[in-house]
Structure 1
Amino acid sequence: MSDTKKPKKPSRQQVYTLLVQIGRKKGDGLPDKATGAALMCFASGVDEAEAVRETVAILKQADTAPLDVTGYGTLAEREEDGQEIDDEERALMQQALDDNAVIVAQVTPFYDKL
């Protein structure tokens, strides 16, 4: 038996920017009069489908009700589209990659107009 370790393969994980719309659910933490919210998330995955699945699973565990997910691609794809990405956003994306995690970067509650 050999004690030599195989070299670690480079990670195929990438970070995807996702916009998740959530509805109301008891214990979701949204403001009382909110009808739902939009969550800007950074999620790691080997592809966008995996990032979406992981994000939805985590949000369900957090007692939210995901309704719809829109993918905006990887950092490189967003830059190719001409989007400006600030340092704070880049740091959150790197954290999602480093931790193999889903980071909720922004929450925007929705309210019905009266």
Structure 2
Amino acid sequence: MDRRDPAPGAFVVNIGELLEIATGGYLKATLHRVVSPEPGTERISIPYFHGPSLDARIPSVELPPSLAAEARGITDDPANPLHAVFGENWLKSRMRSHPDVVEAQHPHLLVGA
């Protein structure tokens, strides 16, 4: 899906990777990036993160057949693999956002180590 600018006054909900996994790709995760608005532009952001136990396996959501037929499968991106076990996905995200910490404290987790 292409990103489009929301209509004025729109309520935007970004979908995370776990919902993409749970829906078999019917819902696609939003690429996370922080884009600051122009100075003087009002923006309200309320992030919510749900963290089940690290060994929790993300269950599949049973979609109605008409929606299931539209599911395009989970994104296959070697640079950002999606994991069905919450802890694996969480660790991947932390390693990506804090590579200096991983290199200093956990170099054995780096690819090719």
> One fold, TM greater than 0.5?
no
Greater strand content: 1
Scaled by the length of structure 2, the TM-score of the pair is 0.29
Which of 1 and 2 has higher RCO (CA within 8 Å, sep 6+)?
Answer: 1
